[in-house]
Chain A
């Protein structure tokens, strides 16, 4: 299975690397438009500084030096973001992917903000009114984006259960009271609520249920004894039938893990069925008849 986010981030990283390689190929082949773009970028100003000055160029550097610095910085940004996107695509959970994406935006943004502010604080640089507005807009937007992304990254995921279902779930207090009640021997709500409800409505039915409860216990005990015998017989059968199929063994393990009931008599192979019939005493057969009797009221419902 391919995840959509993985495909998205992987393609984004790949595109970044491709753009980077095309950028350098374009420069090597002297694409004038690209060269002009870089030169114009090196002349463009932000809060009174040229872009190369913000990224550390000296005021007396030549245009060629400034353009080269700009190319190097563009390349470094491309490589780092391409690598980050590829790394994000390899992350397993969606939450981790988003977290890395948020921080890959927040950390550089805050660093750039701090860099510009420290430059303005320590440089002998005069800010005109237009520069101040530009600076305040950039700082405000950058700050708001950072805060939003940080809040998104620290947000806890809410449970996706429907409200109706969530409302039916027992609270911690309810569970505690139930445990206390069960330890003190009181009747609990663990019993099937439908039976409880009906018991309150119909006295006859409640009497039948009490009989049923008293009869269920010996039946269950008998069933457990039968299952034990079947387990004792099964290894013998397995040894006779040679190598065991892996799938059937897994199924068996799953059954034992989940504490499922022993297989029904109809499902048993004929040999085992015969053995079982021999071993089962007459009481068992009587009990099975009683089971049918108990099941009758349920069917009536």
Chain B
């Protein structure tokens, strides 16, 4: 009797603890994020927590298995919907806050600065300011380090049909409050009418040029026809945008063939599920994003929800936690990049300083064989470090780097590897393309041919 009573009380205690933990995870944002980071590690981590992995947490849910049969895309989409619900369970407290903000009957709207750039009107800035980094000064974003620059965590671009008047008054309360929420979180917001891929790409480039610190990261949201335009634009320019949110797209484009495409969240209507070519195309986008070594994008970089009358309201809040995680992920990568830039710069400066001091010493004291040797070794080391970045430098590689400046894989790769990779891609496309490239950038063609021979 006593043993039975002991076992029952033990089970009851475990049950209560389990329930309490679940309630904390569901209700407390800080705890849910803490549990997420404990399970997945830092934002740029590549390994899961090996101890917590043993526990039945939603964070360790494996994504649905890819099925090559297009006909099974519908079932896969339903599985993806379930997977998205489970893997994003950590975002529910934040979504609760967001829905409270949206439904606030007496909102206290703050005033934000609104700026126009050329024909783009109504870019609302969150009013954040900071001092620029060395790299930003080098890029010309600020004249000097003491000049503060206006920045935002990202720009949220809401794509609208070109015909509809996009005045502030014509927008629904949801859209207005959505914008307010993002502004309070430090995001700039823009409602951008668009009618073609080229116009969209052009507008986004204008944003990046004119507000580099604000539009460093861009998140685009679109529905229907605009969603198709957005997918088309990102297919050709995958590093222009950091995250895509598409609702019920009317069509899709091919997945960009890059190492780390932008994060992707899509929702499809229940009625659209019959169009399994579209569903399959969207699933391919998701797979492409998830195909990375980093844990965060591999888990939540590509997600899909199926929209119906009941889930519709839930899906309208679903992008908020993904968006936050996406921005945090890119910020972390940038931090690493900035750190390596600063380190590299300091190393080069130090080496140059050493050479100069030794030269000055020799000039004053006279020529010494030992001194000459040491200077030679210093110069050679300096040459090696500069060679790693300057060798195989050509127009094509520079353009490729400019185009993919957000891609950490490209930033870390040296010119030699890039020449080989780009040349191989051109060859795979069409032999005629290589001839065009030869005419456009003969140096690149020469590099590629010689490297190909060496590789062989």
Contact = CB atoms under 8 A, between A and B. Distances in A.
Interface of A: 59-60, 114, 117-118, 120-122, 124-129, 132
A122 B22 CA distance: 9
A126 B314 CA distance: 7
Contacts of B384: none
A128 B96 contact: yes
7 contacts: A59-B310, A117-B22, A124-B311, A126-B99, A126-B317, A128-B96, A132-B96
B19 interface: yes
Contact of B19 (A114, A127, A128): A114
A261 B22 CA distance: 76
Given A117-B22, A121-B23, A127-B96, 5 more contacts: A120-B26, A126-B99, A126-B313, A126-B314, A128-B99
Contacts of A127: 96
A126 B95 contact: yes
Contacts of A120: 26
B89 A124 contact: yes
Given A59-B310, A121-B25, A126 B19 contact: no
A118 B95 CA distance: 19
Interface string B435-448: 00000000000000
B103 interface: yes
Contacts of A125: 92, 314
A230 B22 CA distance: 84
Contacts of B99: 126, 128
Contacts of A114: 19
A226 B329 CA distance: 110
A60 B23 CA distance: 27
A126 B96 contact: yes
A122 B314 CA distance: 14
Interface of B: 19, 22-23, 25-27, 85, 88-89, 92, 95-96, 99-100, 103, 308, 310-311, 313-314, 317
A124 B316 CA distance: 12
Q: Which 10 A-B pairs have the closest CB atoms?
A: A59-B310, A124-B85, A121-B22, A129-B100, A121-B26, A126-B95, A126-B99, A127-B96, A128-B99, A126-B314
A126 B85 CA distance: 12
B26 to A, nearest CB: 5
B19 A124 contact: no
A128 B103 contact: yes
A27 to B, nearest CB: 27
B182 to A, nearest CB: 18
Contacts of A118: 19, 22
Given A121-B22, A124-B89, A60 B310 contact: yes
Contacts of B22: 117-118, 121-122
Contacts of B95: 126
Given A59-B308, A121-B23, A126 B103 contact: no
Contact of B308 (A60, A117, A122, A126): A60
Nearest to A131: B96
Given A59-B311, A126-B99, A128-B100, A117 B23 contact: yes
B139 to A, nearest CB: 41
A54 B248 CA distance: 30
B146 to A, nearest CB: 45
Nearest to A136: B27
A106 to B, nearest CB: 14
A124 B22 CA distance: 13
Contacts of A60: 308, 310
